[in-house]
Amino acid sequence: MDDALLVHYRLTPAPGENAADKARGIALEQTAELPARCIPETLLETHVGQLVDLQQTDDNTWNASIAYAPELCGGEATQLLNLLFGNISMKAGILITGIDWPPALLEHFGGPGHGITGLRSLLHLPPHQPLSCTALKPMGSDASALAAMTRAFAAGGVDIIKDDHGLANQPSARFGDRLHACQQAVEQVNARHGGRSLYFPNVTAGPSELLERLAMARDAGCRGVLLSPWLCGLDSLRLARDDFGLAVIAHPAMTGSYFGSEHGLQPEVLLGDLFRVAGADAVIYPNTGGRFGFSLATCEAINDALRRPLGGLHAAMPAPGGGMDMARAAHWIDQYGVDTMVLIGGSLYERGDLRSATRELLATLGR
Amino acid sequence: MDDALLVHYRLTPAPGENAADKARGIALEQTAELPARCIPETLLETHVGQLVDLQQTDDNTWNASIAYAPELCGGEATQLLNLLFGNISMKAGILITGIDWPPALLEHFGGPGHGITGLRSLLHLPPHQPLSCTALKPMGSDASALAAMTRAFAAGGVDIIKDDHGLANQPSARFGDRLHACQQAVEQVNARHGGRSLYFPNVTAGPSELLERLAMARDAGCRGVLLSPWLCGLDSLRLARDDFGLAVIAHPAMTGSYFGSEHGLQPEVLLGDLFRVAGADAVIYPNTGGRFGFSLATCEAINDALRRPLGGLHAAMPAPGGGMDMARAAHWIDQYGVDTMVLIGGSLYERGDLRSATRELLATLGR
């Protein structure tokens, strides 16, 4: 299968478990869900994963590669995810370390609608400038308080002001109230100061409400949204892109449990490849040294997965966050490159005056 | 907060990490996402989780309980999940072991639309009889082959014939073709033999397609569907219940990575409480002794979470599966009780003649 979806696994067999059996078990479990002897011969060749490589790497670790016919995804992100890790999420010692994507599948899923270049274009930012993003918080603030923060951040010149991903449709600030108050705030400040800040509301919700909120965001004049693919489904990224023309920042909520050392999907596969292929323009991840535990190598692997050449897909913007100090923002741009959007929240709030803190942040970024 | 959502955690602090700091960190991380000093005092009381209990249980394990105002969920399953484990999925040593649900929240989310009693009523089955379910497979079979299997299973008298959860919208059997072929097959056999078998198609898909497939399933005369909440969002259960009046069997695809011993959500919380509260009428889980690794105690804890008194919510039907031998089906009913739906797939296919194998299965169940 030259055009196969080739998935690379690191296997850690349990005591007494044979690596080859484990690998072949994955190929069956993720497709036919039947013993090989129950599968018609024609389907065994076309609709079951084929183990194409198996190498022992140390005493109890093996690298396995399994080729799947792209048709098994049925062209849908939900089934792609199911094929990759649906049932084997409930087994042990299986880590997806990489995916070789067939060009036709990449073209079908389509990747970012805007990507790095498109985000720069929305923000009128030249290629040599890094991007900045902040978050409206805390939960419980009412729409007018959130609009006031939006005004301050916009007056300070931040590029993207996004809702905190916990702002949903709570009584304290209903989605519609918040959307209109914050979008109006950012437009007013832009008009007054000639800025180009954008407000991205969090549209994460169930299927009907997601459709409704995407439409409301577009109709209110937003150019993009925040959503958490693991809360509302990976395919929600495509929906925002294709049916609403909105840019999307993807949030990693609920994904952390897959990042085991022996089980799951490596962060660069899930937050890098999968989020990008499914349509994220920017991907938030917990930067090393913040409140979460990613290593520098993992952060750089995510950056690479988001930006590397991948069929004809746009590159997506890494958005490291999760407790970054504004004083270190320039350091991270040096480390990760200008095609990075630093997400700074708490560190601005700690300064008290959001507008001057934002200006200071941008100055450190040479903006 | 008498009416709080009370979440119980088992904490395993890292070396040098203080348990009380870790617990208070969770309360902040899952709500304000700001240091306490940046949060307005009024919100600190109402919109941040409150640590109400912390007990050391052994050298390095602590039980913590945090109370959250139900309003923080904003009435939505997506945000409920985010509140429970969104950001802390990316931290280490945090396991949710239980949830005390405030009655108002249970009433709001609503639970199963049909539940055990409703499923029995759809199937015209008296309370003393266990339920049987099987799956159409393998992926790659065309609609007419799947319809032929449906006829055989229905003629054998199985209660529910569901799509395998990997059957999405692949070219081999498009959703619409499969739906109509299998639904017609089951209706014809029922009419001829007086049976009451039901066909539940897999509607798992992105938001727009999910809505479309739910409507198609209802319009085709199906009484229920299969869906994987972790692929298309937990709120999809409510949608199927409220907007389409369909019964739902929930599949655990992608959930296994949360079932760590020191991190995640215990299976009875995720597959039990969460699936039930969000609207699942039956929940598939990997039975002990099959292809997956749940212990008997975990399976019984899931059963209990699905059936125990919980506000005014209907009890949901446990559906143990994942490689169960039909010869052991009666044993599992003895073990788990008659309010159980045995899910037998491969073991029927191995017999070759699906109709006689199904009859034999039902005979062992005293049907």
**Residue A174's closest chain B neighbor by CA?**
B74
Tens-digit pLDDT profile for residues A159-187? 999 999 999 999 999 999 999 999 999 99
What pLDDT was estimated at residue B86?
A: 98
- Distance between A124 CA and the closest CA of chain B, angstroms: 30
Interface contact B231-A39, CB threshold 8 A: no
Which residues from chain B sit within 8 angstroms of residue A12, using beta carbons?
none
CA A256 to chain B, closest CA, distance in angstroms equals 4
Over its C-alpha atoms, chain A yields an Rg (Å, rounded) of 22
Tell me the nearest-neighbour CA distance from B105 into chain A, angstroms: 13
Rounded CA gap, B128 and B308, in Å?
18
Q: What's the pLDDT tens digit per position in A51-68?
A: 999 999 998 999 999 999
Sketch out chain A's domains with CATH numbers: 5-109 (3.30.70.150), 115-364 (3.20.20.110)
Question: Which residues of chain A lie closer than 8 angstroms to B76, CB-CB?
Answer: 168-169, 205-206, 209
A 10 A CB-CB count for B55 gives: 10
Q: Which residues of B touch A292 (CB under 8 A)?
A: 90-91
pLDDT tens across the length of chain B (367 residues): 569 999 999 999 999 999 999 999 999 999 999 999 999 999 998 999 999 999 999 989 999 999 999 999 999 999 999 999 999 999 999 999 999 999 999 999 999 999 999 999 999 999 999 999 999 999 999 999 999 999 999 999 999 999 999 999 999 999 999 999 999 999 999 999 999 999 999 999 999 999 999 999 999 999 999 999 999 999 999 999 999 999 999 999 999 999 999 999 999 999 999 999 999 999 999 999 877 789 999 999 999 999 999 999 999 999 999 989 999 999 999 999 999 999 999 999 999 999 999 999 999 999 8
Q: Hey, of A79, A169, A210, which one would you mutate to test binding to chain B, going by the most B CBs within 10 A of its CB?
A: A79
Alpha-carbon distance of A184 to A188, in angstroms, equals 6
**Contact check, Cβ <8 Å, A168/B293:** no
Q: What is the pLDDT of residues A282-328, one digit of tens each?
A: 999 999 987 778 999 999 999 999 999 999 999 999 999 998 999 99
Question: A264: which chain B residues are within 8 Å (Cβ-Cβ)?
Answer: 257
Taking contacts as CB-CB distances below 8 angstroms, the residues of chain A near B278 are: none
Predicted-assembly ipTM surpassing the 0.95 threshold: yes
pLDDT tens readout for residues A99-136: 999 999 999 999 999 999 999 999 999 999 999 999 99
Q: Which residues contact B156 (CB under 8 A, 6 or more apart)?
A: B354, B355, B356, B357, B358, B359, B361, B362
> How far is the CA of B169 from the CAs of A149, B143, B163, B206, B226, in angstroms?
45, 11, 12, 12, 14
| B138·A39 Cβ contact <8 A | yes
On chain A, the residues whose CB falls within 8 A of the CB of B253 are 82, 86-87, 89
Which residue does chain A place closest to B33, by CA atoms?
A: A138
Write the single-letter amino acid at A329: A
Q: Residue B201 has which token pair? A: 């198609």
Backbone angles phi, psi at B259, to 5 degrees: -95, 45
Distance between B127 CA and the closest CA of chain A, angstroms: 31
Q: Are B136 and B149 in contact (CB under 8 A)?
A: yes
The two tokens of residue B177 are: 């073709």
Q: Are the beta carbons of A141 and B232 separated by less than 8 Å?
A: no
pLDDT value at position A111? 98
* Alpha helices by DSSP H, chain B: 19-29, 41-46, 77-81, 103-109, 115-123, 143-156, 175-193, 207-219, 229-232, 236-242, 267, 275-278, 296-307, 329-336, 346-349, 354-364
Question: Residue A367 corresponds to which tokens in the numbers above?
Answer: 């903006």
Q: Exposure of A58 by Cβ count < 10 A (0-12 exposed, 13-18 middle, 19+ buried)? A: exposed
CB contacts, 8 Å: A267 with chain B: none
Nearest to B82 among A74, A82, A165 (CB): A165
- Check residue B291 and give its pLDDT: 77
Chain A contact set for B38 (CB, 8 A): 138, 346, 349-350
| pLDDT band at residue A273 under the 50/70/90 scheme | very high
Q: How confident is the model at residue A343 (pLDDT cuts 50, 70, 90)?
A: very high
Phi, psi of A47 (to 5 degrees): -120, 15
What pLDDT, on a 0 to 100 scale, did the predictor assign at position A291?
A: 77
pLDDT score, position B293: 83
Three-point CA angle B243, B244, B249, nearest 5° = 115
Nearest to A358 by CA among A367, A348, A347: A348
Query: CA of A180 to nearest chain B CA: how many angstroms apart?
Result: 18
Closest-CA residue of chain A to B240: A207
Contact A206 B256 (CB under 8 A): no
> For the sheet containing B160-163, what is the strand order?
B198-200, B160-163, B131-136, B341-343
Among the partner-chain residues B205, B293, B345, the one whose CB lies closest to the CB of A92 is B293
Beta-ladder partners of A154: none
